[in-house]
Amino acid sequence: MKWKYRHTVLATCSAAFAFYHAGRQILPPALPLIKDQFGLNYAQAGFVASAYDIGYGLTLIAGGFMADRLKKRRLVVAGLVLLATSLMLTTLSNTFLSMSAVRVLTGASFGAYFVAGISLISSYFPKEERGKALGIHTGMGAGSGKLIAPLVAALVLPSLGWRPVFYFVGIPVLLIAIIFWRAVREPETDAVPIASFPTIVGKVFCNRFLIMLGLCNALIIAASVSLYSFLPLYLVKEMGADLAVGGYAVAFLNGIDIPIVPVMGTLSDKLGRKVVIFAMSVCSAIALYLFPFFTGGVEIVAGIVLLGIFVGTAFPLIITYVVDTTPGSCRSIALGYVNTFTIIGGSVATVLSGYISDVFGVRQVFPFLAALSVLATLVIALLGEPEKAQVAEQSAL
C-alpha cells in the first residue's frame, strides 16, 4: 500500500484516540485501591468509573455543533490540552466528590475530540474504505490506549499507588497535541454548507434511523464500559486475585480488540454493517453470560479472550453506519447525537452495575450485561432503512 497523506491523518488521529482511551482505562485497575482509600461502596465506585462518560456525554452535542462550524484541528488540540491538564489534576483528588468532578472534566475533553476526529477521517476516506479506516482508528488507536494504560497501572500500582499512574498518561498527551497541530490540516472536502437548525432537527434529532442506531450503540457500550470497570473488581474482590492481575486482565481484554476491530470493519464493508453488528451482539451476550461460570486460570483467560473479541467491538461499525447515511452538512452533529445515547447508556449501566454488586454480588453483573447485549440484538433486528433522500445527499458528496 502506497502511503498517502490520508494515512498520516488516520495515524495521527489514532494516536490521539489512543490517549483519550488511556485516560479512561487508567482508572479501572486503580478502582480497588481508590474504593478502599476513599471508603466507597460499589455504587459509588461505579459512579466514579462512569464520571468520565458523564462529562463526555454532556459535551458531545456541543462538540458536534463546534466541529461543523470551527476548524476541527483546533478543536482536537484544545481537547488534548484539557485532557492532559485534567489527568494531572486527578492526582489531587482526596474525596469521592473531588474524584468524580475531575473525572467529569476529563471526559469533557473527549467530547472535543470524538466528533471532530471521526469527521476528519471520514472526509479523507471514501465510503468503500471507511469501515476499515474507522476500524483501524478504533482497533489500533483506541485498542492500543486501552491496552497500554492498564499495563502501566498493573506495573505501578503495587509499588507506587494509584496517583502516579495518571502522570504516565497525562504528560505524553501534551506531545501528541503538538504533533497533531503540526501534522494535520483541514480537508478541502469539509467546505460544505452548514445545515440550518430546522434541517438539523428534521434530519438528525427527529430521525428514527439515527435514534435506533443510538439506542443500539447505547446498549452495546453499556455492556463494554461496565465490563471494563467491574472485571478488575470481580477478579480482585471475588476471585482473590492480586491487584496487578486486575490491571493485566483489562489490558489483555483490550489488547484483543486491536486486530479484531479492523477485521470487523473490513467485513462490514463487504457484508454490510447491520449483519455484522447483529452477529457481534449475539456473541457478546453469550460470552458475558458464560464468563462467571469460568473458575480456573485457563478458563478465565479463555473467557477474557471471548469477551475481548465480542463485547463492544460493534461500536465503530455503528459509528461508520452513521457517517455512511448522514449528509456532510450535519454529519458532525449526527455523530455527537448518536454517541450521546451511547454515553448515557454506558454511564447508567455502570452505576446500575454498582447497585447490583452491592445487593447481589459482583458476579451478578455479568448476566445483567448479557441481557443488555440481547436487547441490542433486538434493536438492530428492528432497525429499518435510512431515509432515501438522506442517503442520496450523502452519496453525492
pLDDT, residue 191, reads 47
pLDDT, residue 189, reads 53
pLDDT, residue 198, reads 64
| 34 close to 96: Cβ distance less than 8 angstroms | no
In the DSSP assignment, the letter for residue 98 is H
Domains, the chain, with CATH or none: 5-396 (1.20.1250.20)
Angle between helices 243-271 and 208-233 (to 10 degrees): 150
Degrees to nearest 5, angle at CA 165 with 102 and 303: 100
User: Which triple of cell numbers denotes residue 386?
Assistant: 435510512
Tell me which residue of 82, 222, 236, 256 sits closest to 153, measured CA to CA. 236
* Cα gap 167→33, rounded to integer Å: 17
Q: What is the mean pLDDT of each run of 10 residues along the chain (397 residues)?
A: 80 90 85 87 85 81 68 85 92 91 90 81 80 79 81 84 88 91 76 58 78 87 82 83 78 78 81 88 93 86 88 81 75 78 79 88 91 92 65 41
pLDDT, residue 173, reads 92
